[in-house]
């Protein structure tokens, strides 16, 4: 299975960190979800449907899953999202493209070592249900503006991401980023 889209992430001075998965093409159709790491370490998935939530929860760990209407406004270098639980927007700058595809063995070996050493992020790993997953990065941009709020509070200024309890085998870079990616998932056990 291949999920093609963009992963944008940022931390905030409140201690919250958000990861937006905006998938243009996938076996589940076009969808957007949000992984939310709260200051107390709890991990929340905001998902547009039970079908999407069940699939994502099979791969990653969450303490709470909320099904909610997700209204997305996309621009070339910006995404804004409204939900019943939180609103978030992120803007990014110039893209550093990685135009050539790499084989999965390369992503799992050399690229994985490079990603972990430079960005603190794995590009290959085993998901919660035993699936193998490869992140084939096609472009990287620095997120330079982000804001988020719940109905009761504002998250404050943009900051580094912080995940006291990760969602899965990999976390986004600590520096706020927006990454164009193809996520390859193999649910057959090796």
Q: What is the CATH number of the domain that holds 127?
A: 2.40.400
The pLDDT value recorded for residue 119 is 82
In this predicted structure, what is the pLDDT of residue 77? Answer: 96
- The whole-number pLDDT of residue 63 equals 96
Q: Give which of 119, 190, 172, 131 is closest to 2, Cα–Cα.
A: 131
pLDDT the model gives residue 190: 54
Handedness of CA 100, 168, 149, 69 (dihedral sign): positive
β 64-67/71-75 pair status: unpaired
| Residues of the chain above pLDDT 70, percent | 99
**What span, in angstroms and rounded, lies between the C-alpha atoms of 58 and 138?**
25
Which among 16, 71, 20, 73 has a CA at the least distance from the CA of 48? 71
Q: Tokens standing for 12? A: 């905030």
Please give the tally of structural domains in the chain.
1
- What's residue 172's pLDDT? 86
Name residue 22's beta-bridge partners: 6, 32
Residues of the chain with pLDDT under 70: 189-190
**Given this model, what pLDDT does residue 75 score?**
94
Range of the domain at 25: 2-186
Phi/psi at 17 (nearest 5 deg)?
A: -135, 140
Cβ(32)–Cβ(70) below 8 Å: yes
Query: Cα–Cα distance between 114 and 109 in angstroms, integer?
Result: 9
């Amino acid at each position: 299975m291949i999920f093609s889209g963009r992963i944008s992430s940022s931390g905030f001075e409140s201690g919250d960190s958000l990861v937006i998965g905006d998938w243009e093409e996938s076996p589940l159709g076009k969808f957007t979800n949000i992984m939310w790491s709260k200051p107390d370490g709890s991990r929340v998935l905001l998902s547009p449907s039970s079908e999407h939530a069940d699939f994502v929860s099979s791969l990653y760990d969450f303490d709470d899953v909320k099904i909610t209407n997700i209204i997305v406004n996309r621009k070339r270098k910006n995404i804004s999202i409204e939900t019943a639980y939180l609103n978030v927007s992120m803007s990014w700058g110039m893209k550093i493209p990685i135009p050539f595809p790499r084989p999965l063995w390369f992503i799992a070996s050399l690229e994985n070592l490079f990603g972990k050493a430079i960005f603190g992020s794995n590009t290959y790993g085993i998901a919660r249900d035993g699936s193998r997953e490869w992140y084939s990065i096609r472009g990287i941009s620095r997120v330079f503006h982000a804001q988020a709020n719940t109905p009761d509070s504002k998250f404050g200024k943009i900051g580094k991401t912080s995940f006291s309890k990760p969602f899965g085998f990999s976390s986004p870079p600590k520096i706020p980023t927006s990454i164009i990616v193809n996520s390859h998932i193999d649910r057959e056990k090796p």
